[in-house]
Amino acid sequence: MNEHLRHALIQARLQPLDVATHLTVDPKTVTRWLAGRVPHPRHHLAVADLLHVDENDLWPESTRRRPGPPTEIKAVYPHRWAVPATIWRTFFEAAQTEIGILVYSGLFLAEDAGLLRILVGRATAGVRVRILLGDPDSPHVATRGADEGVGADVMVSRTRNALTLCRPLGDVEGIEIRLHGTILYNSIYRADNDLLVNLHAYGTRASDAPVAYITGNEPHSTAATYLDSFERVWDGAAPAAQRS
């Protein structure tokens, strides 16, 4: 029996079914975790975030034995679709000063009304929110569609749809939306000094490409590289309000 996990569930006033629902796993899987089975590494952080505890407190023996990645890398997900929905929500909800989104369309976010409400809520609380969407007229957007195998027209259409869905956010104080025409090597999602980086691969849809959860802003660190990249794209982008 994993007493650490059982106690954390009691403290959080959650049942195994609640955990299973949030992580989109079979309830029997959570029962096995309580019985002592160690979850897949990608579920460690998701469970810990949900219960508001450190993963080392839930599986101390496992995390001591398992060689960990560099401390600035919190997790690596094999696909964007494998990132639990709770991670996206808690990620943005935790921001205290800065949220940044660099994508071409980010349609999976733009279509999520709950996530958009979180962005509005954080902006209302004083968090600066900056959203960079791809310029639908940029040839790089069309090229990305062809490269991913979905078609140039489809990618352009997704970008226009995302702009339409996000445009009302531009009326919220604290939220800025700009359009960029750069080659998008990676999609970057920022919450203060935490980053979710969607690592694009040629011939692979963004949803199927890996995501790295990175933290830190020390000079020459991995996170600093992506933070600097975001700023460079932002500085060269045009306000979406200038587009009809």
How do residues 119-141 score in pLDDT, each as one tens digit?
A: 999 999 999 999 999 999 999 98
* Numbered ranges of CATH 1.10.260.40 in the chain: 3-68
Lowest mean pLDDT among 2-6, 94-98, 194-198: 2-6
State the Cα–Cα distance between residues 141 and 138, nearest whole angstrom. Answer: 6
SS3 208: helix
Q: Tokens standing for 24?
A: 């989109």
Instruction: For residue 223, count other CB atoms closer than 10 A to its CB.
Output: 20
pLDDT digits 0-9 by tens, 225-241: 999 999 999 999 999 87
- Confidence bin at 69 (pLDDT 50/70/90): low
Q: Tokens standing for 222?
A: 């991995």
Which runs of consecutive H residues, i.e. helices, occur in the chain? Answer: 3-12, 16-23, 27-35, 41-51, 55-58, 60-65, 85-93, 107-110, 113-124, 139-148, 152-166, 222-235
Q: Over 60: is that where the pLDDT of 65 sits?
A: no
Q: Give residue 121's pLDDT.
A: 96
pLDDT digits 0-9 by tens, 176-215: 999 999 998 999 999 999 999 999 988 888 899 999 999 8
Q: Give residue 70's pLDDT.
A: 58
- Which of 45, 50, 94, 83 is CA-nearest to residue 187? 83
Q: Give residue 243's pLDDT.
A: 60
* Numbered ranges of CATH 3.30.870.10 in the chain: 77-242
* Residue 194 or 39, more confident: 194
Residue keyed to tokens 């409400």:
117
CATH entry, 3-68, from 3.40.50.1370, 3.40.50.720, 1.10.260.40, 3.30.230.10: 1.10.260.40
Residue keyed to tokens 């920022």:
190
- Confidence bin at 104 (pLDDT 50/70/90): very high
- Mean pLDDT taken over the chain: 88
Q: Give residue 128's pLDDT.
A: 96
- DSSP annotation of 94 reads T
Mean pLDDT of 34-57: 82
Whether pTM > 0.95 for this model: the answer is no
Tell me, which fold does domain 77-242 have in CATH? Endonuclease; Chain A (3.30.870)
Mean pLDDT of 31-45: 82
